[in-house]
């Protein structure tokens, strides 16, 4: 069953929305980080928790969508698609994206849980700050790599002709 997307590609509307979401998620993350750098720690916490909640909803909807509708049938017309799929450009791009996406999820969970447990309320720098800065920076770079590889996968799977 094909559900036409909104961007004129072979992707479904959900995949189109997820692609577009990257252009909101990454700037929001950068803005949230900038609030911490400007010592507005309560704003940083609020923005990052909203972002985490939004990501949880988006990723859950996406996973349900993929389970119900699949994705391969939409990518078959790509010049980068061939069987076996995970030896093709589409499949390799997806595997690279998934490596970043999975590691990002684990990093964000660790950073957020540790921050909620170890920072004061209201949030203020303390003994946990050095650890948080290091791992949050790694998680942010990983999120950026997830977004870039997600956009690359979208292109090779659903846009390229």
Residue 144 is part of which domain span?
A: 13-159
Residue 4 pLDDT class (50, 70, 90 cuts): confident
In the predicted model, what is the mean pLDDT of residues 88-114? Answer: 98
Q: DSSP letters along 27-43, please? A: HHHHHHHHHHHTT-HHH
Arithmetic mean of pLDDT over the chain: 96
- Tell me if residue 3 falls in helix, strand or coil: coil
Q: Does residue 7 belong to any structural domain of this protein?
A: no
Q: Does residue 3 belong to any structural domain of this protein?
A: no
Q: Which two tokens stand for residue 44?
A: 């940083």
Residue 105: the pLDDT is 97
Domains in the chain: how many in total? 1
Lowest mean pLDDT among 9-13, 46-50, 135-139: 9-13
| pLDDT at 33 exceeding the cut of 90 | yes
Q: Does residue 17 belong to any structural domain of this protein?
A: yes
Give the tens place of pLDDT for each residue, 110-151: 999 999 999 999 999 999 999 999 999 999 999 999 999 999
Q: Does residue 8 belong to any structural domain of this protein?
A: no
Q: What are phi and psi of 26, to 5 degrees?
A: -65, -50
Q: Does residue 124 belong to any structural domain of this protein?
A: yes
Q: Does residue 32 belong to any structural domain of this protein?
A: yes
Q: What is the CA radius of gyration of the chain?
A: 18
Q: Does residue 31 belong to any structural domain of this protein?
A: yes
Residue 102: the pLDDT is 97
CA 17/CA 149 separation, integer angstroms: 16
Residue 2: the pLDDT is 55
Residue 154: the pLDDT is 98
Q: Does residue 84 belong to any structural domain of this protein?
A: yes
C-alpha distances (whole Å) from 27 to each of 47, 51, 113, 122, 137 are: 11, 11, 22, 24, 15
pTM, 2 dp: 0.93
């Amino acid at each position: 069953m094909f559900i036409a997307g909104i961007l004129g590609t072979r992707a479904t509307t959900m995949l189109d929305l997820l692609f577009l979401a990257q252009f909101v998620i990454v700037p929001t993350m950068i803005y949230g980080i900038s609030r911490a750098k400007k010592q507005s720690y309560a704003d940083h916490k609020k923005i990052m928790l909203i972002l985490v909640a939004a990501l949880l909803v988006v990723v859950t909807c996406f996973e349900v969508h993929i389970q119900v509708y699949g994705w391969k049938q939409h990518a078959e017309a790509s010049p980068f698609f061939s069987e076996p799929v995970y030896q093709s450009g589409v499949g390799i791009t997806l595997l690279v994206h998934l490596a970043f996406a999975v590691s990002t999820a684990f990093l964000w969970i660790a950073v957020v849980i540790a921050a909620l447990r170890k920072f004061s309320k209201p949030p203020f720098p303390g003994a946990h700050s050095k650890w948080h800065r290091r791992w949050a920076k790694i998680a942010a770079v990983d999120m950026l790599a997830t977004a870039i590889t997600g956009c690359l996968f979208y292109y090779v799977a659903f846009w390229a002709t």
